[in-house]
Each structure stands twice: as structure tokens, then as C-alpha cells.
């Protein structure tokens, strides 16, 4: 039986090595570098090199406040309550057994610092930049700060603005080592009794530009759940955001979910006074002549946001309600009278809230509707589609070629078998290539690349537990992770007409929370004009997250030419 690693802290690596030493760092035998935990670092400007990759990472830090059998979960619980009862922690605060506490607290998560790993396009570590947080020397309460939630797998997408000058990502206004922040309410949408998480926390959009300075924008959006991605429209000074909220808690929460817009701010967090959430778009399956019962607000539960050719796109890939597919925002009112279509020529990006702020909630849905399913992409309700995919990130090589990352079905091992995750039982997972057909005015799936991902094949990580997770609250299945698909995605067009795509992987395992598994950074090169993959086309692993570290978003550094 694996024993809990009490009082264990993740080991720290040297922050910056001389360039000559970095150039000599060898790759491991598999061809992949191992990206390990990061040392504490004082706030500083980010000196990022255009053309380098940035990978959003986070380290787990041992939480001594979690004591098995003593700590009561969730935070703010009430002994004897029928609506918010307490459960004792099942394991201590060591990694990764701490996430077995998810069986005692369905919202279990621990805030952790955000680190941007700068890598060469071949995966060689160049340096690290730490986003301001409470662990840094000289930090004082009220100072700018931003964290992620370990182990929220859908967070920390990295997006470059259309002009390539601004990198944005989403997190929380909270110190490190705070429980359940990812499911907390926001201060401006905090109805009593709607959430067991104790204290409200703003969501934050972080931005770093070619000047190397961080800026933070607070928002009351995504109350009761998490913001996942943001992208800046620099011409309008507006941020578009994607995420979810506690949609069953009332109209204000429904309004704070889905596709949001907020002004980009450069004042310190202490000087900001966020107002009510302002949705920029909304979709309802009734636009397609479909209907469903239950929590219909989950139809607007988005993971990714992108801008291409002056059009705003959103991706939904989770939840039992709605349709897992690719959407776009129609600012012309003419693109999709039946709920699906393609953007109209000359469409402009939205610059104001939905309907100029004249939105409302009717029947559990935010109206009016101004989003459409992109023609050719799935239009079948998840509950009626046995082959529903799990799209996550998207990247356009050109206006007629789109790549979609599919994270896979998430079905972990059963009795030691990972077969539910192999390509036969996980057919949509991997890198999907979609091509636009102008004669049909619709997109079609050309092929899916998954070779080299080793879907459903467990792998070992140095220091990570071996054997089965038989600790209290454990699954009884193997700790070893296996790749399930890919999540975040970016790419570059090469001079020879090919594109190189970079992605972070999703995982399955027998851990208490599969989002805590050490995952990988992978790449693959594809011919843009091809309608079938090359026989030798396969992913290569560039880096593997170390025990206690995870990879989330991936992008090129600000200032990188497309």
C-alpha cells in the first residue's frame, strides 16, 4: 500500500541557469525534458523572448492545515447541517494523496502559484517567470496577486491577442494554500446559502505584454465556478472571457456564466471596484429546434475562447447538458437563423455586453441568443449523442483550416485496465483537423492525429506513487497516469507550408483527482494543405511535468510574429 507523504514539500529547482549551461541540458532518454517545481521568486518584470513557448504551470505546496480525521470539509461547513454538513478530511496535506479528499468535499481544491515556463520550440527550458502571489518575498496583504486552483484541469489557458502583443490567462484573487476557491462565489454575486465555500473571491484576468509587465483585471463573473480563458481585444480595450458559474443558484449566477466581456484595466487590484458580470453572448439549444430539461444554463459552459478574422469563437466540451461543439458570436444577426452557420463577411468583434446590456434570464436561459454552432460541427445534444466529443482548445492555421484539441472521455482505469482510454474506445481524442468547404459553406473533419500520444498507456513519473491508490478515499486503481487526449493548443505556420502544433495533454489515473496528474507538453507537425495525415505523422513529447507540477496553457511569447 502506498503511504501518505506527510510533511513533504515539493523539492525546488534552481530558478535560472546561465545560458551556456541551459544550452547543454540534455533531454532524457525518451526525448522529453522533465519540468520540475519552481523556487520562490520576488516579483519582477517578465523578460520574454518572442518565438519562445510559454507553458502555464503550477506547483503543489504542502498544506499543513489539512489533518486527516480533524480538518472539517468543506470550508464553512456546519456540523449537523442538512444542506452544508461537515466531513472529516480523509488524508493529510501531502501530494498527491491530499486529492483523495475530493470524496469528502466535491469542490476540493487548493490555490497554488502560477509560473510561466519559457521554453524553446524544442522543449528546452529557458527560464521561468512567477506571477505575483502571497509566497513571494516582500508580499503584503492588498498587493496584486493571482493564483490558480490545484488541480483544476480546465484553467490557465494562454491566449495571445490578435496583434500578438498581449498574453492573457485567468485565475483568482487569493493567497496560496486556500481551500475551494475555484468553487467560491464572487463578492458581487454572493447570495447566502448558495455555496458551501466559505469566503468569496474575485476572478482575475492576468495580462503580460511585450513590455514584460503584469496587469490584473478583477471580475465578478463565474461565481460559484471557474473562469478558464480570456483574450484581449486591444483595439477596443475589452477582454473576452470563457467559463462557468453556479448556474442553478439563480438568475444572477446564470448571468455570470459562459461568455463574458469586461474592460481591460491597468490599475492595481486594490483600486478596482468590479461591477456586475456582463455577458457578451449566449446560446440556447432551442435555436436548433431542440429541447432539454434540467439545468439548461449549462448549455453555456465554455472552456476556450479565440479570435480569428475578427470573429469571436467559443468551445464547449464538458457537462451533460447542451452540445459539445464549436460556436461563434454573430454580431450581424444574419449568420445563423436556424442556430448554425458561418460568420458573415465584414463582421465586427463585439464591444458591449449582450444586447447592449438589455439581456434577461428566461426559463433558465440567458437571452437574447447571438451565438451559433459553426456549420459542420456537432449539433446533437450530448445526452443523445453516444459519440459526443470533448473539444477543448482551438487554433486556426488560416481562415479555412482549424485544429481542435479533444481531451478524451476521462474514463479512468477499472480493475487496472486503461482500455476505456485507448483509441478504440476514445475515438474523438487527439488533434482534430477541420477544413472549410466553401461550396457547402460548412466545415468538415479531415482527420484526427493521435499517434505518439500513447492513449491509455500508463507511464511512470519519478517520485510519483506506484501501485494502487488504496489510501482512505482512494479509488483502488493504479496511481500511474495515462494520456487521455489533449487540452490546450497553439501553433505556428512554417515557411515550407507545414504547421507545428503544441499541446498539453489530459490524463486519467486512479488518483483522487485526475487533474493533479503530472502531464506532458507534446508537439506534432502537419501539412496545412493535406486532407490525410502523413504515414509517419505522430506526436513527440517535449517535456513531462515532474511529481507535484502540472502543465496547463501553452502559447508563444508576446511579440511573436504569426
- Which residue range(s) make up the domain with 137? 19-556
Asked if residue 12 is part of any domain, the answer here is no
Give all strands of the β-sheet with 115-119 in edge-to-edge order. 125-130, 115-119, 53-59, 549-556
Q: What is the pLDDT of residues 349-373, one digit of tens each?
A: 999 999 999 999 999 999 999 999 9
pLDDT band at 23 (very low <50, low <70, confident <90, very high): very low
Phi, psi of 552 (to 5 degrees): -125, -100
pLDDT band at 39 (very low <50, low <70, confident <90, very high): low
pLDDT band at 201 (very low <50, low <70, confident <90, very high): very high
pTM of the model: 0.93
Asked if residue 449 is part of any domain, the answer here is yes
Q: What is the pLDDT of residues 274-310, one digit of tens each?
A: 999 999 999 999 999 999 988 888 999 999 999 999 9
Q: Can you give the length of the chain in residues?
A: 562
Read off the pLDDT of each residue in 325-337 and give the average, rounded to a whole number.
96
Give all strands of the β-sheet with 401-406 in edge-to-edge order. 391-398, 401-406, 430-437, 442-449
Q: What is the pLDDT of residues 140-157, one digit of tens each?
A: 988 999 999 998 999 999
What 3-state class would DSSP assign to 97? helix
* pLDDT(562) > 90: no
Q: What is the pLDDT of residues 402-417, one digit of tens each?
A: 999 999 999 999 999 9
* pLDDT(31) > 80: no
Q: What is the pLDDT of residues 229-250, one digit of tens each?
A: 999 999 999 999 999 999 878 8
Asked if residue 525 is part of any domain, the answer here is yes
Task: Please report the pLDDT score of residue 4 as a whole number.
Answer: 44
Asked whether 79 and 73 are in contact (CB, 8 A), the reply is no
Task: Please report the pLDDT score of residue 34 as a whole number.
Answer: 55
- Among residues 484, 359, 509, 377, which one has the least CA distance to residue 427? 484
Written as one string, the DSSP assignment of 427-474 is: TT-EEEEEEEETTTTEEEEEEEE-TTS-TT-B---TTS--SB--STT-
Asked whether 55 and 38 are in contact (CB, 8 A), the reply is no
Task: Please report the pLDDT score of residue 10 as a whole number.
Answer: 41
Asked if residue 4 is part of any domain, the answer here is no
Read off the pLDDT of each residue in 96-118 and give the average, rounded to a whole number.
93
Asked if residue 9 is part of any domain, the answer here is no
How many CB atoms sit inside 10 A of residue 245's CB? Answer: 30
Collect all residues with Cβ–Cβ distance below 8 Å to 181 and sequence separation of at least 6. Answer: 109, 111, 147, 149, 172, 174, 197, 201
Task: Please report the pLDDT score of residue 116 as a whole number.
Answer: 96
Q: What is the pLDDT of residues 413-443, one digit of tens each?
A: 999 999 999 999 999 999 999 999 999 999 9
Task: Please report the pLDDT score of residue 8 as a whole number.
Answer: 37
387 grid coordinates:
459519440
388 grid coordinates:
459526443
3 grid coordinates:
503511504
Asked if residue 5 is part of any domain, the answer here is no
Read off the pLDDT of each residue in 2-29 and give the average, rounded to a whole number.
34
Q: How far apart are the C-alpha atoms of 48 and 54, rounded to whole Å?
A: 9
Asked if residue 561 is part of any domain, the answer here is no
Read off the pLDDT of each residue in 59-76 and give the average, rounded to a whole number.
91
Asked if residue 3 is part of any domain, the answer here is no
Q: What is the pLDDT of residues 511-530, one digit of tens each?
A: 999 999 999 999 999 999 99
Q: Per the structure, how many domains does the chain have?
A: 1
Read off the pLDDT of each residue in 471-495 and give the average, rounded to a whole number.
97
Q: What is the pLDDT of residues 531-560, one digit of tens each?
A: 999 999 999 999 999 999 999 999 999 999
Phi, psi of 243 (to 5 degrees): 175, -155
* pLDDT(387) > 90: no
Torsion angle in degrees (nearest 10) through CA of 376, 377, 378, 379: -70
* pLDDT(7) > 60: no
* pLDDT(448) > 80: yes
Amino acid at each position: 500500500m502506498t503511504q501518505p507523504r506527510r510533511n513533504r514539500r515539493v523539492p525546488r529547482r534552481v530558478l535560472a541557469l546561465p545560458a551556456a549551461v541551459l544550452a547543454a541540458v540534455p533531454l532524457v532518454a525518451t526525448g522529453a525534458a522533465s519540468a520540475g517545481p519552481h523556487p520562490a521568486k520576488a516579483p519582477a518584470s517578465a523578460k520574454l523572448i518572442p518565438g519562445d513557448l510559454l507553458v502555464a504551470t503550477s506547483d503543489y505546496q504542502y498544506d499543513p492545515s489539512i489533518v486527516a480525521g480533524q480538518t472539517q470539509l468543506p470550508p464553512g461547513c456546519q456540523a449537523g447541517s442538512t444542506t452544508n454538513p461537515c466531513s472529516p478530511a480523509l488524508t493529510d496535506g501531502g501530494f498527491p494523496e491530499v486529492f483523495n479528499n475530493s470524496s469528502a468535499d466535491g469542490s476540493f481544491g487548493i490555490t497554488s502559484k502560477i509560473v510561466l515556463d519559457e521554453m524553446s520550440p524544442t522543449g528546452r527550458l529557458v527560464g521561468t517567470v512567477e506571477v505575483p502571489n502571497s509566497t513571494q518575498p516582500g508580499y503584503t496583504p492588498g498587493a496584486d496577486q493571482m493564483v490558480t486552483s490545484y488541480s483544476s484541469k480546465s484553467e490557465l489557458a494562454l491566449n495571445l491577442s490578435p496583434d500578438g502583443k498581449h498574453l492573457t490567462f485567468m485565475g483568482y484573487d487569493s493567497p496560496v494554500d486556500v481551500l475551494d476557491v475555484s468553487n467560491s462565489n464572487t463578492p458581487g454575486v454572493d447570495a447566502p446559502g448558495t455555496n458551501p465555500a466559505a469566503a468569496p473571491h474575485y476572478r482575475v484576468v492576468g495580462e503580460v505584454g511585450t513590455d514584460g509587465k503584469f496587469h490584473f483585471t478583477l471580475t465578478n463573473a463565474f461565481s460559484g465556478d471557474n473562469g478558464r480563458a480570456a483574450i484581449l481585444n486591444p483595439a477596443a480595450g475589452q477582454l473576452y472571457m470563457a467559463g462557468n458559474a453556479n448556474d442553478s443558484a439563480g438568475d444572477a449566477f446564470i448571468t455570470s456564466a459562459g461568455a463574458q466581456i469586461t474592460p481591460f484595466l491597468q490599475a492595481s487590484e486594490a483600486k478596482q471596484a468590479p461591477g456586475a458580470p456582463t455577458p457578451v453572448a449566449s446560446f440556447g439549444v432551442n435555436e436548433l429546434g431542440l429541447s432539454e430539461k434540467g439545468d439548461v444554463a449549462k448549455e453555456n459552459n465554455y472552456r476556450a475562447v479565440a479570435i480569428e478574422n475578427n470573429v469571436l469563437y467559443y468551445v464547449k466540451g464538458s457537462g451533460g447538458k447542451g452540445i459539445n461543439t464549436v460556436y461563434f458570436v454573430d454580431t450581424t444577426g444574419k449568420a445563423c437563423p436556424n442556430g448554425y452557420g458561418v460568420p458573415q463577411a465584414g463582421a465586427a468583434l463585439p464591444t458591449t455586453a449582450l444586447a447592449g446590456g438589455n439581456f434577461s434570464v428566461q426559463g433558465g436561459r440567458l437571452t437574447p441568443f447571438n451565438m451559433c454552432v459553426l456549420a459542420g460541427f456537432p449539433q446533437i445534444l450530448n445526452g443523445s449523442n453516444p459519440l459526443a466529443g470533448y473539444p477543448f482548445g482551438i487554433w486556426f492555421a488560416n481562415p479555412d483550416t482549424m485544429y481542435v484539441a479533444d481531451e478524451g472521455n476521462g474514463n479512468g482505469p477499472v480493475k487496472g485496465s486503461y482500455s476505456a482510454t485507448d483509441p478504440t474506445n476514445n475515438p474523438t481524442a487527439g488533434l482534430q483537423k477541420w477544413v472549410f468547404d466553401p461550396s457547402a459553406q460548412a466545415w468538415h473533419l479531415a482527420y484526427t492525429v493521435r499517434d505518439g500520444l500513447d492513449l491509455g498507456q500508463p507511464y511512470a513519473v519519478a517520485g510519483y506513487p506506484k501501485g494502487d491508490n488504496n489510501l482512505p478515499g482512494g479509488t483502488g486503481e493504479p496511481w500511474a497516469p495515462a494520456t487521455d487526449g489533449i487540452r490546450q493548443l497553439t501553433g505556428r505556420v512554417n515557411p515550407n507550408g507545414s504547421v507545428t502544433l503544441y499541446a498539453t495533454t489530459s490524463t486519467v489515473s486512479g488518483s483522487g483527482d485526475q487533474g493533479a496528474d503530472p502531464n506532458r507538453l507534446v508537439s506534432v507537425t502537419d501539412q496545412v494543405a493535406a486532407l490525410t495525415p502523413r504515414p509517419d505523422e505522430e506526436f513527440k513529447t517535449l517535456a513531462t511535468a515532474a511529481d507535484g507540477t502540472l502543465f496547463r496553457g501553452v502559447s508563444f511569447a508576446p511579440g511573436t510574429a504569426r
